[in-house]
């Protein structure tokens, strides 16, 4: 693929933790991606942004427990709007079995838990996007 990957990144809902999402966004930029950072946003706004930005990837950061409540809504709304090719990645703090459920039952491409090396995240995104092009 000869074009840059476009990512829409958000802190899910009212989550106040910013260090993880900021670090990941910086690394994506250094890896040559265009990252549109939304700050704190709810599913409707996140999906609207994904449409307007023609995003390849939506990234959601959740460290304060709203991952199961809001994550799946984002995936569903994207599919409803016809954005089937958009991959959703999540990261943050949650029980590992929740992460598995988000991946297996709710259509999240991959959840990255704390202490994941940055390169692993970048590689994961590159692989997932390049698979569909």
Partner 1 sequence: MKIEKKELVDELIERSLKGEKLSISRLISMVERSDEYAPYIMEKISPHAGKAYYIGVTGPPGAGKSTTVDRLISMFCKNNLSVGVIAVDPSSPFSGGSLLGDRVRMNVKSEKMDVFIRSMSSGRVMGGLARTSKEAARILDACGKQIIIIETVGVGQSELDIAEATDTVVVILTPESGDSIQIMKAGLMEIADIFVINKADRPGAEDISTSIRGMLKRSLRKRDWDPQIFMTSASISKGIDELYAGIWSHYDHLDENSRLEQRRKRQLRQELHTRIENEFAKILWDMVHKKDIEQVVNDAWLRRADPQNTAQQFVWSSLRDSGLWPQKQ
Interacting residues toward ligand B12 by CB under 6 A: 14-21, 23-24, 59-61, 63-65, 89-93, 112-116, 121
Comparing CB distances to ligand B12, the nearer of 2 and 121 is 121
Shortest distance, CB of residue 91 to ligand B12, whole angstroms? 2
Three-state secondary-structure class, residue 20: helix
CB 46 within 8 A of CB 81: no
Q: Is 32 in the site for partner 1 (CB under 8 A)?
A: yes
Q: Is 54 in the site for partner 1 (CB under 8 A)?
A: yes
- CA–CA gap between residue 67 and residue 71 (Å, rounded): 5
CB 8 within 8 A of CB 38: yes
Token pair 């799946």: residue: 72
Shortest distance, CB of residue 1 to partner 1, whole angstroms? 11
User: Among residues 51, 68, 73, 77, which is the contact residue for partner 1, using CB under 8 A?
Assistant: 51
Token pair 């990645």: residue: 89
Shortest distance, CB of residue 19 to ligand B12, whole angstroms? 3
């Amino acid at each position: 693929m000869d074009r840059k990957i476009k990512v829409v990144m958000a802190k899910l809902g009212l989550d106040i933790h910013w260090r993880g999402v900021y670090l990941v966004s910086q690394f994506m930029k250094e890896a040559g991606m265009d990252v549109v950072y939304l700050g704190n946003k709810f599913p409707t706004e996140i999906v609207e942004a994904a449409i307007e930005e023609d995003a390849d990837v939506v990234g959601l950061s959740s460290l304060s427990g709203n991952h199961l409540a809001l994550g799946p809504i984002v995936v569903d709304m994207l599919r409803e709007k016809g954005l089937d090719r958009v991959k959703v990645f999540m990261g943050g703090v949650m029980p590992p079995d929740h992460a598995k459920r988000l991946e297996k039952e709710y259509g999240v491409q991959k959840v990255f838990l704390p202490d994941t090396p940055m390169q692993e995240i970048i590689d994961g995104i590159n692989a997932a996007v390049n698979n569909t092009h």
